[in-house]
Each structure stands twice: as structure tokens, then as C-alpha cells.
């Protein structure tokens, strides 16, 4: 697909970015960021729809990078069960 995953973020707290329990992998602590820093705001209030899409894409790619590092390969991922964000 030509997508390049970003480098892993530095942990911002006392947590594990990924933990396997049985056959499930749980991810935590990944936020939307760019070269300008952490992305904050609310789409429609102080962010455009385009900025919202860019923030979501950045966060999703970082989550995939965390998964790849944790599992060794994204080829072992069978499905995404839940995505939660604020």
C-alpha cells in the first residue's frame, strides 16, 4: 500500500503500550501527534475536518507501528475488535 509507519513514540507515563492477554493485544497511550507536537482540539470547533482526518490517520499509523513492534509483524493480526478514542 506504500504506507510507511512512524517511529514508536516515547512512553509518556507508567504504562505498557501493548500487552497480550490470551490471543488479544491491548494498546494504550497512543495519541495523535505530528512533527509540530501533540494534536489537540475539537473538529468543528477549533479544528477543520481535514485536520481531524490527519490526526486520526497519524494516531492509527502509530497504533499499527506499536502493534508491529509488539508482534514482530502485522501479518499475524486477524482483526480489530474495538477502537476507542476521545
pLDDT score at 20: 96
pLDDT score at 86: 65
β strands within the chain, DSSP E: 18-21, 24-27, 33-34, 37-38
pLDDT score at 49: 95
> Which of the residues in the chain have pLDDT under 70?
86
Residues 6+ apart with CB under 8 A from 54: 34, 39
pLDDT tens-digit series, residues 63-72? 999 999 999 9
Amino acid at each position: 500500500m506504500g504506507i510507511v509507519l512512524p517511529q514508536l513514540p516515547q512512553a509518556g507515563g507508567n504504562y505498557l503500550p501493548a500487552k497480550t492477554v490470551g490471543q488479544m493485544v491491548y494498546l494504550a497511550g497512543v495519541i495523535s501527534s505530528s512533527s509540530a507536537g501533540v494534536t489537540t482540539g475539537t473538529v468543528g470547533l477549533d479544528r477543520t475536518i481535514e485536520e481531524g482526518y490527519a490526526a486520526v490517520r497519524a494516531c492509527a499509523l502509530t497504533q499499527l507501528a506499536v502493534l508491529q513492534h509488539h508482534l514482530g509483524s502485522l501479518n499475524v493480526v486477524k482483526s480489530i475488535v474495538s477502537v476507542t478514542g476521545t
